[in-house]
Amino acid sequence: MAGRPRDPELERRLLAATWELMTEGSYAELTLARVAVRAGAHRSDVYRRWPTKSRLVADALAVHVPPISDIDTGSLRSDLRVYLDDLTRSWSAPWMDSVVGWLAELADDADAETTFRELGLRRGRSLRRSLEKAVERGEIPELPDAQLISGLLEGPLMHSRLVAGRVPSAEFLDAVADAAHRIVTSMAAVR
């Protein structure tokens, strides 16, 4: 005999409650019991669907992290700058503190790590498309490693959040976009 079918509305409420708690506090403060209370559900409703907090957070991120804009400004440098604006909104959002706390647990949860990597790849698609369009426009002769370029763009934002503790200024973002653009075009020139 099969069990009861899953209730998509309950799952939506549980993921929404998780997201709300992530935006209000730290990852350490987030518990499956608090998620259940916030969603008006039973703890067993959460545990039946997510065996660990890490997996619950992975699924909440997959549903609630804002997408990166599909960018086509007509110029690679401008596309990089718009991409940085979207990344900055994420790195400046209150839920990022929970994400940073959650990252330490990924090494112990392969499923959550897979979900996180898929989320990163999905969010990086617009950068890859921008790089492909730059090739089509003749700005660069071949497609560079999109993950490398993503790291060049996102690394300074992580540093600003985690080390400097500040939201980057427009001038800082312009400098990052300029540096990444120079690297992309010089990589292409060397080959």
Write out pLDDT tens, residues 23-39: 999 999 999 999 999 99
Note whether 97 and 126 are same-domain residues: yes
Same domain for 44 and 122? no
Tokens representing residue 157 in the block: 């934002």
Say whether pLDDT at 190 is over 70: no
Note whether residue 149 is domain-resident. yes
The answer to whether residues 30 and 105 belong to one domain is: no
Q: For residue 90, which of 69, 107, 59 has the smallest C-alpha distance?
A: 69
- What CATH number is attached to the domain comprising 88? 1.10.357.10
Contact between residue 83 and residue 71 where contact means Cβ atoms under 8 Å apart: yes
What pTM does this model have? 0.84
Determine, yes or no, domain membership for 173. yes
Would you say residue 117 lies in a domain?
yes
- Of 180, 182, 188, residue with least CA distance to 84: 180
- Name the domain count of the chain: 2
Using CB atoms within 10 A of its CB, is residue 129 exposed (0-12), middle (13-18) or buried (19+)?
middle
Whether residues 78 and 120 fall in one domain: yes
For residue 36, give its domain range. 8-62
Same domain, 150 and 117: yes
* pLDDT of the residue at 188: 57
Start-to-end CA distance of the chain, whole Å, equals 63
Instruction: Note the pLDDT of residue 4.
Output: 52
Q: Taking residues 9-15, what's their average pLDDT? A: 96
* Residue 3 within a domain: no
State yes or no: pLDDT of 78 exceeds 60.
yes
pLDDT band at 65 (very low <50, low <70, confident <90, very high): very high
pLDDT value at position 2? 47
What is the torsional sign of CA 83, 125, 24, 98?
A: negative
Confidence (pLDDT) at 149: 94
Task: Report CA-CA distances (Å) from 83 to 70, 89, 116.
Answer: 9, 10, 19
